[in-house]
């Protein structure tokens, strides 16, 4: 828990949630994880250990950026930081808030085990809820 709180604090200090909005927080320099293949939880851990967190897609601009970098990924689908919890519904792993969504047609279909979000290259990188244990490339972001 202490680690989680630290991560949130460091996000706030490094660029703040405003950084996502003005799209100028240098996170776009950190399209890492594209050559890797990890479960959602492994990807989250990797991003927190080596960067700040899995990327939060708060705006259409960020979505377009993630689409662009995802074309360099090792497979069609990539993880981002959104997942579903019973207590809070859809939440971003870095604790930030955004109502922006880009669901693919028919998603989220809320199957019981489908609580992690991947962008699907075969569907224009629109979003789908899937089981978290599939190995995927992923997109992290950095602070500054």
Give the binding site for Ca ion (CB under 5 A).
109, 114, 128-129
Residue 86 C-beta: closest distance to Ca ion, Å = 17
- Nearest Cα neighbor of 140 from 73, 60, 88, 75 is 73
Tokens encoding 136: 């995927």
Tokens encoding 62: 């960020």
Q: Of all residues in this chain, which one has the CB nearest to Ca ion in the complex?
A: 129
* Alpha-carbon span 46 to 131, nearest angstrom: 19
Residue 90 C-beta: closest distance to Ca ion, Å = 13
Residue 130 C-beta: closest distance to Ca ion, Å = 6
| 94/114 with CB nearer Ca ion | 114
Provide the edge-to-edge strand list for the sheet that holds 126-131.
89-92, 77-85, 114-120, 126-131
| 53/114 with CB nearer Ca ion | 114
| 80/128 with CB nearer Ca ion | 128
Cis peptide before 108 (omega within 30 of 0): yes
| 8/131 with CB nearer Ca ion | 131
Residue 128 C-beta: closest distance to Ca ion, Å = 5
């Amino acid at each position: 828990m202490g680690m989680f709180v630290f991560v949130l604090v460091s996000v706030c200090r490094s660029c703040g949630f405003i950084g996502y909005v003005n799209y100028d927080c240098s996170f776009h320099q950190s399209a890492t994880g594209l050559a890797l293949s990890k479960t959602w939880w492994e990807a989250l851990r990797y991003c927190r250990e080596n960067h700040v967190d899995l990327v939060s897609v708060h705006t259409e601009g960020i979505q377009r950026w993630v689409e662009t970098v995802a074309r360099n990924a090792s497979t069609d689908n990539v993880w981002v930081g959104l997942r579903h919890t019973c207590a809070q519904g859809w939440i971003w792993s870095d604790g930030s808030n955004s109502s922006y969504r880009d669901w693919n047609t028919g998603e989220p279909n809320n199957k019981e085990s489908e609580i992690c979000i991947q962008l699907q290259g075969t569907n224009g990188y629109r979003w789908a809820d899937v089981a978290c244990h599939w190995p995927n490339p992923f997109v992290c972001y950095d602070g500054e």
